[in-house]
Amino acid sequence: MSNTSYSLGKTLLKIEDVSLEYDGRPVLRNVNAEVRDITVPGRTQGQVVGFLGPSGCGKTSLFRIIAGLNAPTSGRVSVNGSDRPVRAGEVGVVAQSYPLFEHRTVLGNLILAAMRKEKDSGAARDKVLRFLKEFGMEDKFNLYPAQLSGGERQRCAIIQQILCSEHFLLIDEPFSGLDLLMLEKTCELITKVSDLDDLNTIIVVTHDVTAACSVADHLWLMGRDSDSNGHKLPGSRIVKEYNMIERDLCWQPGIITKAPFTDFVREVKEEFRKL
């Protein structure tokens, strides 16, 4: 049981009975999950979901459906209690390559993103400059993407998507190929982004179980169910969900060095191997 006082409020993102078929072959089967607003007295607390699953289980397909880039065969994904399916642009997508316009400066890239929400160019510029300062990049505004380090490019891509979509972000494999120092900084960055606003909701798609556990308040584990004979059923779904708050395994400095966290990671990895 969690020692942190918290409550769950309205549903921010909901996946309802999402199924997907390609040429009659089930890829996703009755996927259901939701992200609810987490309220912690006395502080701004966003939401971070770690989305785990083996290669080929359909994570990318569900990723694109959540982002509104592809439609499911049946079911829907909605945000902010809407009675319609999510539309492209409502959920920001930070791809592994951190795509930016190479011929535009950092400021130019970000103002272009901000103008999707702001009608006034001056207001857009002010908003961009606030974010650059918040993320320690105020001295990089006049550089081009090719002049940025990998970490700076990642921060720029995340700011870009926050400006476009406001509260919802899907981040694809943010820990891939990172050394320990950069991995720690990326986890800190994700936490910082989520805690900018109570409604900020980040879904981190990754194969890195330990990193996902260290940054998330909830985990989704995706895979295929087995029948009574142990045969895998067609189509993947979210087969297990973990509430890290109830287990008292998040929002604590140094928690990743403690035995309960290590035991939990071992538990999740064991489940992962069964998928």
Q: Do the domain assignments include residue 241?
A: yes
Q: Do the domain assignments include residue 2?
A: no
Q: Do the domain assignments include residue 173?
A: yes
* CATH code at position 202: 3.40.50.300
Q: Do the domain assignments include residue 139?
A: no
Question: What are 117's two structure tokens?
Answer: 């929400």
Residue range 111-155, pLDDT digits in tens: 999 988 888 888 899 999 998 998 889 999 999 999 998 888 888
Q: Do the domain assignments include residue 54?
A: yes
| pLDDT the model gives residue 97 | 80
Contacts of 91 (CB under 8 A, 6+ apart): 13, 66, 67, 68, 79, 165, 168, 169, 170
> Structural domain of residue 194, as residue ranges?
7-95+168-274
Question: Structurally, how many domains does the chain consist of?
Answer: 1
Q: Do the domain assignments include residue 223?
A: yes
Q: Do the domain assignments include residue 86?
A: yes
Q: Do the domain assignments include residue 35?
A: yes
Contact 125, 83 (CB under 8 A): no
Contact 265, 205 (CB under 8 A): no
Residue range 177-225, pLDDT digits in tens: 777 788 888 888 899 999 999 999 999 999 899 999 999 999 999 999 8
Q: Enter the pTM of the model.
A: 0.91
- Span of 45-49, 111-115, 226-230, 258-262 with lowest mean pLDDT: 226-230
